[in-house]
Amino acid sequence: MWTIAGEGIHPIHEKRLTSSVTVGDLRLPGKVVIPLSQHIGAPSEPLVRIGDSVRKYQKIGEAKGFISASVHASISGKVIAIGKFPHPSGNQSHSIVIESDGKDEPMEGLTEHPDYLSLDPKELKDIIVNAGIVGMGGATFPTHVKLNPPKEKKIDTVLLNGAECEPYLTADDRLMVEMPREVVEGMKILMHIMGVKEGHIGIEDDKPGAIEAMRKAASGTGIHISVLEKKYPQGAEKQLIKSILGREVPSGGLPMDIGVVAQNVGTAAAVYNAVRYGIPLIERIVTVTGQGIQRPGNFRVRIGTLLEHVITECGGLVGEPGKILFGGPMMGIAQYTLYVPVLKGTSGILVIPKEDVLLEDFTACIRCGRCVQACPIRLLPNMYSVLAEAGKPKDAEKYYVLDCIECGCCTYVCPSRRPIVHQIRYIKAEMRKAKNKVA
């Protein structure tokens, strides 16, 4: 059994609400809002105009540059608007709005590759680029970028992340239980592209069904299923690499610096569907959960579906919501409107009832050190908190604040309820601003 180096935490994980709920489908939404920016990097550029008819799978936004990703129509219908609409990040984002024609008509001529492992790596990478695949664990880094490391970086291992350590979320768990073959075949394609023989899939030990299904599917392939201790943030990329391979990503570095390409299990399944059937990334599994939703479950959701539609399809809210998060309770982002769309990186929607949201203000740091002990990167969260409060964000740089993965362990354990992650984000934003000024 592998585990992370730092202390980490053991939050209430509440996965029982959805862990045994089979992935279901939602009724087709009446419209979708597809942001041109759902990934790290440059937004894509629209390929359609208002009034155009589009079919499901049709490319409607072209990647702009290398670090970017294309977007595709997730339903058939008519483009009724192109402009700025609410985005789950809290900002407004350029988006294409498609009104459904109710037919869900797919585009014709998708290219299938039954013998996909005989394809050239370059050809496979082109398929992945065209399918608009990004990291589906939430990071949303364009997948093809990770598959094109600079020549001097020698990759020897592909690692798939099936840890899903974030409380409440079970989308990856259900994917591995119900569709293990897609994940393993996707992994084989990734290994073929990178020309490596070593592959690992990390899964936390609270997912016995997924472990069994993946072991069966991976049997005889040489892909190892690595069982990890249930601990947060076991699934953070750098922690996963350290736990399974014993290698440490250097401060400010990337997994490719130590010979590793890491992807999420959902990304591997998306790669398989793109390569085998020519299907671009237009839907994903989302866990809709929390004590504030009538019918929690795991659902296949079309990209661009509005939160309002998802909630209605899940039977509506239970009482008054205190918070609705995209993502889980540790790293999720609170939403201010129901008119935000599900994105390629939306692994979960969590509805917390009003009575469960703590509204007390934070108090002074008592230097208890709990945040330092919990930090999986072994940073000094207390220092960042105090410096942010004192209005001295620049001073945090020398304490390696940029290595913070914003996992939220420090905030979770702080007895003074200090909003440490928010303060860290403020520090990072100030540092970015200062850097842009100099540039």
Q: 265: left (phi > 0), else alpha (psi -120 to 50), else beta?
A: alpha
For residue 403, the minimal CB distance to ligand SF4 (Å) is 7
* Residue 240 in contact with ligand SF4, rule: CB under 6 A: no
Options 56, 188, 207, 370; binder of ligand SF4; rule CB under 6 A: 370
* Residue 161 in contact with ligand SF4, rule: CB under 6 A: no
* Residue 33 in contact with ligand SF4, rule: CB under 6 A: no
- 315 CB-near residues (< 8 Å, 6+ apart): 293, 294, 295
- 406 CB-near residues (< 8 Å, 6+ apart): 331, 421, 424, 425
For ligand SF4, the closer CB: 351 or 407: 407
**Encoded tokens for 123:** 């050809």
For ligand SF4, the closer CB: 301 or 424: 424
CA 31 from chain centre, in angstroms, equals 23
For residue 292, the minimal CB distance to ligand SF4 (Å) is 25
Rounded to whole angstroms, the Cα distance separating 263 from 301 reads 21
Q: Which of 341, 275, 300, 344 is CA-nearest to residue 135?
A: 344
Strand order in the sheet with 92-100: 31-35, 92-100, 77-86, 53-54
Q: Identify the three-state secondary structure at position 226.
A: strand
* Residue 369 in contact with ligand SF4, rule: CB under 6 A: yes
Buried b (16+ CB within 10 A) or exposed e, 301-335: bbbbbbbebbbbbbeebeeebbbbbbbbbbbbeeb
For residue 348, the minimal CB distance to ligand SF4 (Å) is 19
Residues of span 383-402 touching ligand SF4 by CB under 6 A: 385
Options 167, 199, 381, 393; binder of ligand SF4; rule CB under 6 A: 381
For residue 372, the minimal CB distance to ligand SF4 (Å) is 7
DSSP for residue 327: S
Residues of span 399-428 touching ligand SF4 by CB under 6 A: 404-410, 413-416, 418, 420-421, 424
**Binding map of ligand SF4 across residues 328-367, x = CB under 6 A, - = no contact:** -------------------------------------xxx
Options 54, 128, 210, 375; binder of ligand SF4; rule CB under 6 A: 375
For ligand SF4, the closer CB: 286 or 375: 375
* Residue 60 in contact with ligand SF4, rule: CB under 6 A: no
Q: Residues 45, 74, 285, CA angle at the centre, nearest 5°? A: 115
- 149 CB-near residues (< 8 Å, 6+ apart): 155, 256, 261
Single out the segment in contact with ligand SF4 by CB under 6 A; choices: 84-92, 136-144, 168-176, 378-386. Answer: 378-386
Contacts with ligand SF4, residue ranges (CB under 6 A)? 365-371, 374-375, 377, 379, 381-382, 385, 404-410, 413-416, 418, 420-421, 424
